[in-house]
Amino acid sequence: MQSHTIESLPRGFVYGGMVAGIKKSGKLDLSLIAATGPAAAAGVYTRNLVHATSIDWCRQRTPSQEIRGVVVNSGNANACTGREGEENNQRLAALAAEKLGCHPNQILVLSTGVIGQQLPMPVLEAAFPRFPELAGTPEAFHTAADAIMTTDQGRKVASASFTHQGQTYAVAAMAKGAGMIGPNMATMLAIVTTDYPLSPNEAYTAVRFAADASFNQISVDGHTSTNDAMLLLSSAVRDEASPTDQDALWAFQQALEDCCIRCAKLIPADGEGATHLLNLHVHGTLGDSEANQVARCIANSSLVKCAIHGNDPNWGRIVSAAGYAGVDFNPNEVELRLNGHLIFANGRPEAFDAATVSRSMQAEFEVAIDLKLGPNGGSARHYASDLTVDYVRFNSEYTT
């Protein structure tokens, strides 16, 4: 997979990553994202009842206007680790706080990796004194982004900028994820930094909308992780009492969602063993929630995923998956298109050349289904990977 890069970064942040020794592979596994002063921060987190202690830690500390940094360890999820895991998470925050010269409560913690193993605290204790100097450069950002990866084949980053009343603002995002992807509030991990002024409540609203538009619209295997989290930090804290410039806030939201969507699409494209990216568009429903319901059902179907992997225009699997999604529609009015080819309409298949459609099912494959419930109805886009033999092999041997 291509390793992506960014060019512009927001003011007020520095980044870095290192090989601490958590991973047996010797790859980067410890990341720091730090604000040069107190930052506004908010997050969205997994709804899985079984979740990592880092999720509880971050939930208790966001939204906030006093956050100084995020520490991320990869290779160990620190989930299902009991009281010892909580103490280790607290110590990890304290180590990062010592490095940044702040209080542990000003540090957010994210972890990713194998469930049920304790963090190797002697390794982490020894790592922080030799942590490289943080920097506000693209190279340092890329190192931090590489250090949060586990089974990813390439880094997932995106940046955007916009100008309002002569002032230019930047947004920079990093994410990771390739397996156990069926987000329900966020993705495996994502950290977004910006220098656009935000209050904690504005940051929370922005991150929720961005997650719903991006990371909540992807899947690899439909499995919601124990560690899903998306954080948004602004180096410019805005007073809640000061008036909001709605035009500027809208421009920021568009830049934020653009970065998140680009990072989100990279996750199923990099799904473990994946060879195809499914770009699914469901429309013509009564509302967006119904469209999302149908899209998620189709995208998570193992039979649909297998057909896409084999370049097989087996449209019946797609239509039938829509039918059990729990949304009421008339099958005789549905239209289905595969890469622009009309495949199914008026309750029966249309004449199409299967070989031509199969050849069109390359790395990124578009499916559009119109449920015809209203001309101005709801819609949803969902991105998913195919299901391959390599995915099954990889995940059958993950810990052994």
CATH number at residue 366: 3.10.20.340
Task: Kindly state whether residues 193 and 301 are assigned to the same domain.
Answer: no
Could you tell me the two tokens for 155?
Answer: 């880094």
Choose the final residue of a domain: 247, 266, 285: 266
* Residue 289 shares a structural domain with residue 184: no
In the listed set 232, 266, 300, which residue is the last one of a domain according to the structure?
Answer: 266
pLDDT of residue 89: 98
Residue of 62, 81, 151, 187 with catalytic role: 187
Angstrom distance (rounded) from CA 128 to CA 87: 17
Q: pLDDT tens track of the chain, all 400 residues?
A: 455 788 889 999 999 999 999 999 999 999 999 999 999 999 999 988 999 999 999 999 999 999 999 999 999 999 999 999 999 999 999 999 999 999 999 999 999 998 999 999 999 999 999 999 999 999 999 999 999 998 788 899 999 999 999 999 999 999 998 776 677 766 679 999 999 999 999 999 999 999 999 998 988 777 778 888 999 999 999 988 888 899 999 999 999 999 999 999 998 887 777 888 899 999 999 999 999 999 999 999 999 999 999 999 999 999 999 999 999 999 999 999 999 999 999 999 999 999 999 999 887 789 999 999 977 789 999 999 888 888 787 777 766 5
Task: Indicate if 159 and 289 belong to the same structural domain.
Answer: no
Asked whether residue 384 is assigned to any structural domain, the reply reads yes
Q: Which pLDDT score is estimated for 400? A: 58
Whether 28 and 52 map to the same domain: the answer is yes
Is position 3 within any domain? no
The pLDDT of residue 240: 81
Whole-angstrom distance, CA of residue 152 vs CA of residue 267: 8
400 part of the active site: no
Residue at which a domain ends, from 208, 242, 266: 266
Residues 259 and 282 in one domain: no
CATH classification of the domain holding 168? 3.60.70.12
DSSP state for residue 133 in the 8-state scheme: P
Which residue stretches of the chain are H helix? 53-61, 82-100, 121-127, 138-147, 200-213, 246-269, 288-299, 302-309, 315-323, 354-360, 389-396
- Angle (deg, nearest 10), helices 315-323 and 288-299: 130
75 within a domain of the structure (yes/no): yes
- Domain check: are 37 and 78 in the same one? yes
220 & 316 share domain: no
The structure tokens 């239209």 sit at 335
Looking at the fold, whether 203 and 98 belong to one and the same domain comes out as yes
**303 and 238 in a common domain:** no
Per-residue confidence (pLDDT) for residue 251, from 0 to 100: 97
Number of domains in the chain: 2
Instruction: Tell me what pLDDT residue 272 has.
Output: 74
Phi and psi, residue 82, nearest 5°? 65, -155
Measuring CA to CA, which residue among 366, 311, 372 is closest to residue 340?
366
| One domain, residues 95 and 209 | yes
For residue 251, being part of any structural domain is answered with yes
pLDDT at site 85: 97
Nearest one of 217, 370, 219 to 285, comparing CA atoms: 370
Domain limits at 376?
277-396
Does residue 169 fall inside a structural domain? Answer: yes
Domain for residue 272, yes or no? no
pTM of the model: 0.89
Does 224 lie in the same domain as 98?
Answer: yes
**Same domain? 108 vs 88:** yes
pLDDT value, residue 322? 97
